[in-house]
Amino acid sequence: MPSFPPRVSRRLTLAVTAGLVLLAAASLLWPLPDDLLERRAVSSLRVTDRHGDVIQEIRPDGRGISVPLEAIPPEAVAALVATEDRRFYRHPGIDPIAVVRALWQNLRDGRITSGASTITMQVARSLRGASARGWADKLAEMHLALRLEAALTKSDILALWLNRVPFGNQTYGIEAAAQLYFGKPARDLTLHEATFLIGLPQSPSAYDPFRHLERAQARHRQVLAALERSGRLSASERRRLSALPLALQPPTPRFHAPHFVRSLLPDRTDGLAEIRTTLDLALQRVVTEQVRAHLRLLDDASVTNAAVVVLDTSGAVRAYVGSADFWDARHGGQNDGVRMRRQPGSALKPFTYAMALASRRYTAATILPDLETQVLEAGGAFSPQNYDRTYHGPVPLRQALACSYNVPAVHLVRAFGPERLLDLLHRAGFASLDRPAAHYGVGLTLGNGEVQLLELARAYAGLARGGSLPPVTPVRWIRTQAGDTLTVPTEPPRAMGLSPQVAYLITDILSDPEARAPAFGRGGPLELPFPAAVKTGTSKDYRDNWAVGYTPRHVVAVWVGNFDGAPMRWVSGVSGAGPILNGILRPLGSGGPPPLQGKKSANCDPDHIYFGPW
Kindly give, in sequence order, each residue whose CB lies less than 8 Å from that of residue 571, ignoring residues fewer than 6 positions away.
298, 301, 303, 542, 545, 560
Strand 45-48 to 272-277 pairing: parallel
Kindly state the helix (H) or strand (E) to which residue 79 belongs, with its residue range: helix 74-84
Q: How many CA atoms, within 13 angstroms, populate the side-chain half-sphere of residue 574?
A: 15
Instruction: State how far the Cα of 124 lies from the Cα of 199, in Å rounded to an integer.
Output: 19
Collect all residues with Cβ–Cβ distance below 8 Å to 255 and sequence separation of at least 6.
Answer: 47, 55, 56, 57, 261
CA 407, CA 420: separation in Å to the nearest integer?
18
In order of 22, 397, 495, 532, the CA distances from 513 in angstroms are 95, 15, 29, 10
Distances (CA, A) of 112 to 117, 123, 124, 127: 12, 19, 18, 21
- Catalytic annotation, pick one of 84, 175, 193, 274: 84
Measure Cα distances from 480 to 266, 436, 506 in Å: 13, 44, 44
**DSSP-derived 3-state class of residue 162:** helix
**Choice among 346, 432, 499, 572 that is catalytic:** 346
Secondary structure of residue 258 in the 3-state scheme: helix
Handedness of CA 334, 335, 336, 337 (dihedral sign): negative
* C-alpha neighbours within 13 Å on the C-beta side of residue 42: 17
**Sequence-separated (6 or more) residues with CB below 8 Å from residue 16:** none
* φ, ψ at 560 (rounded to 5°): -130, 135
Half-sphere exposure of 507 (CA within 13 A, CB side): 32
Q: Report the alpha-carbon distance of residue 408 to residue 268 in Å, rounded.
A: 51
> Which residues have C-beta within 8 Å of that of residue 330, sequence separation ≥ 6?
none
> How many helices, marked H, and strands, marked E, lie in the chain?
21, 21
Q: Which residues contact 17 (CB under 8 A, 6 or more apart)?
A: none
Kindly state the greatest CA–CA separation across the chain.
122
The Cα 93–Cα 306 span in angstroms is 58
346 is an active site residue: yes
Residue 375 backbone zone (phi > 0: left; psi -120 to 50: alpha; other: beta): beta
How far, in Å, CA of 159 to CA of 394, rounded? Answer: 85
Cβ–Cβ contacts within 10 Å for residue 182, how many? 20
349-358 and 453-464 helices, crossing angle to 10°: 40
Give whole-number Cα distances, 222 to 199, 225, 566, in Å.
8, 5, 49
For residue 97, the one-letter residue type is I
Side chain identity, residue 599: K
List residues with catalytic annotation: 84, 346
